[in-house]
Amino acid sequence: MNLFNVFNKSTLRGDLLGGLTAAIVSLPMALTFGVASGAGAEAGIYGALLVGLFAAVFGGTPTLISEPTGPMTVVMATVMTTMIAANPENGVAMAFTVVMMAGVFQIIFGALKLGRYITQMPYSVISGFMSGIGLILIIIQLAPFTGSAAPPGGVVGTLTSIETIFTNIDLVELSLGALTLGILIFTPKRFTRLIPPHLIALVAVSLLSVVVFSDHSIQRIGEINIGLPSIVLPEFTATEIKTMILEAMVLGMLGCIDSMLTSVIADNLTRTEHKSDKELIGQGLGNIMSGLFGGLPGAGATMGTVVNIQSGAKSAFSGVFRVVFLMVAVFGASGLIEQIPLAVLAGIAIRVGMNILDWSFIKRSHRVSIQSTGVMFAVMLLTVFVDLIVAVGVGVFIANIITIDKLSRSQEKNIKAISDMDDKTPLSREEKTLIRESKGQILMVYLSGPMIFGVAKALSREHAQIADHKAFIIDLTDVSMLDDTISLAIENAIKEAVELKKAVFLVVKSRATREKLTRLKIDELIGLDHIIENRTLALQKAAKGLRTL
């Protein structure tokens, strides 16, 4: 749907105000993330403009504000470091190529309609991953926050140089950073409703540094090339492509998760429903354009989206207006931007990192299961000290194994071997009579609910009793889903019974289940007349067969 086809004059005022407020929030964030990524302040600005524009025009969440975010910045900083180390000459161009490739992955995710599956990841993994990113953002800002030179090597480099960093503290810059952090934390809410605290801190502390500490040598943003961005063409060799693809997949997936979670927040605030697949395509286009022109990758930003909606935004025009206001502010005040101290941006980044940490989970970690807590902290530590891909991969694997084990234990109760009667047997009066009159010669294994591979062992334990009976019935009447592993387990049970020359009957109502088992040629093992839709009829046939023996 074309953006201009949904223009509505009744929403114009709210969209203008929302776009203006979101632009005010975006400016300090764009500068902060640009410097924190290592790509420069202008990269943050280009990312805020290009991702914001294309995601607004082509995305599927009308009030979503897209721009560089804390998690995306952390990954981009890692990409920059990796690419420059691999190829010092073309490393920067390679890093922005990774941004474009991440956008391509996002478009593929959207085209394959995978949007609704993106966030279906265990909460403990998402929590640990985000908390790890928050810690990384805090740690790598320690040097600029204290006025020291940033050591190479990211988190590990910063931690190994911590003694040097604290030895070379510049008290003036530390004071500016601490004042920035203090403003962000302690500004009363009645003021922050009118002016974002990030803008208050940026303007107030920067002015203070110019007026009071003009004679002191302070690390500042310095000259930035604010103008039309130049195209950064993709550059890589065949040996570098593998690393770039892996980095792009991580960046693209993180952008998808970040955007989808923010879209859900926007839905809750506006009582609407976003189009997840369309949103991923919009985000992908935004990141392709941002990478092409040397901008940071971006995603749906919670803070910008919330202030946009609270200011009255109703349509995607708010995102377009935000870009216009941001361009006016940036191009009209580039000289002032150059005077912003790096310590101020570090203070803002540290506060963002503190907000990314999942405090709600951390505070209650002793109250949830030890498995979830273990997964969360393991993912967090792996994210910080090892690798983002490893962290998510290990976290998802362990969390899924735990979930499957719990589900399997629960589903084992839905496999019952029936050869005699008790009060819990789910049979009709006639069926109970038929079982009772067989005097233990009929073994019926009753399954119900979804049957997944984790319960295969339980099924094997039950059909181990086959040798003690003359007729064997597998009842799938109440099975809602049958996976391939259980299908094969049923096939093995039937083969065993046939080899022991037992009469075998299969009760199946679901057409999908019947087709799945037919593909395994079970009908050839026991005959089509022994695959029955009615449990009572199967028992009657089994009982009749016993009388003829």
CB neighbours of residue 441 within 10 Å? 18
- Tally of domains within the chain: 2
Q: What is the C-alpha separation between 10 and 446, in angstroms, rounded?
A: 62
Residue 534 lies in a domain: yes
Query: For every residue of 482-532, which 3-state class applies, written as one string?
Result: ECHHHHHHHHHHHHHHHHCCCEEEEECCCHHHHHHHHHCCHHHHHCHHHEE
Strands 299-300 and 531-532: unpaired
> Which pLDDT score, from 0 to 100, does residue 193 have?
73
Residues 423 and 347 in one domain: no
> Which pLDDT score, from 0 to 100, does residue 5 have?
47
CB 65 within 8 A of CB 52: yes
Residues 280 and 421 in one domain: no
For 20, the token pair is 């203006």
> Which pLDDT score, from 0 to 100, does residue 464 have?
66
Q: What is the C-alpha separation between 544 and 538, in angstroms, rounded?
A: 10
Residues 200 and 286 in one domain: yes
Find the domain containing 297 and state its range: 9-223+231-357
Q: What is the C-alpha separation between 472 and 96, in angstroms, rounded?
A: 64
Name which of 111, 116, 63 is nearest 265 in CA terms: 63
CA dihedral of 109, 111, 115, 116, whole degrees rounded to 10: -130
CB 354 within 8 A of CB 134: yes
Domain-ending residue, one of 357, 378, 403? 357
CB 276 within 8 A of CB 263: yes
> Which pLDDT score, from 0 to 100, does residue 281 have?
95
Residues with Cβ within 8 Å of residue 146, at least 6 apart in sequence: 165, 166, 168, 169, 170, 173, 174, 177, 343
Domain-ending residue, one of 309, 326, 357? 357
> Which pLDDT score, from 0 to 100, does residue 423 have?
46
> Which pLDDT score, from 0 to 100, does residue 2 have?
47
Residue 371 lies in a domain: no
Residue 424 lies in a domain: yes
User: pTM for this structure?
Assistant: 0.74
Residues 298 and 436 in one domain: no
Residues 214 and 66 in one domain: yes
Bridge partners (DSSP) of residue 442 are 471
Residues 311 and 426 in one domain: no
Residue 376 lies in a domain: no
Name which of 413, 438, 416 is nearest 427 in CA terms: 416
Residues 304 and 426 in one domain: no
> Which pLDDT score, from 0 to 100, does residue 195 have?
79
Residue 157 lies in a domain: yes
Residues 193 and 315 in one domain: yes
pLDDT block averages, 10 residues each, the chain of length 549: 54 86 86 88 92 94 91 89 84 90 95 79 83 89 87 83 89 94 88 80 90 85 70 70 86 89 84 88 95 92 86 89 89 79 90 88 85 90 83 84 75 66 66 82 83 70 75 86 83 87 88 85 85 88 75
Residues 299 and 427 in one domain: no
Residues 209 and 278 in one domain: yes
Q: Domain with 506 in it: what CATH number?
A: 3.30.750.24
Residue 245, helix vs strand vs coil = helix
Name which of 451, 544, 463, 447 is nearest 500 in CA terms: 463
Domain-ending residue, one of 357, 384, 403? 357
Residue 171 lies in a domain: yes
For 216, the token pair is 């002191």
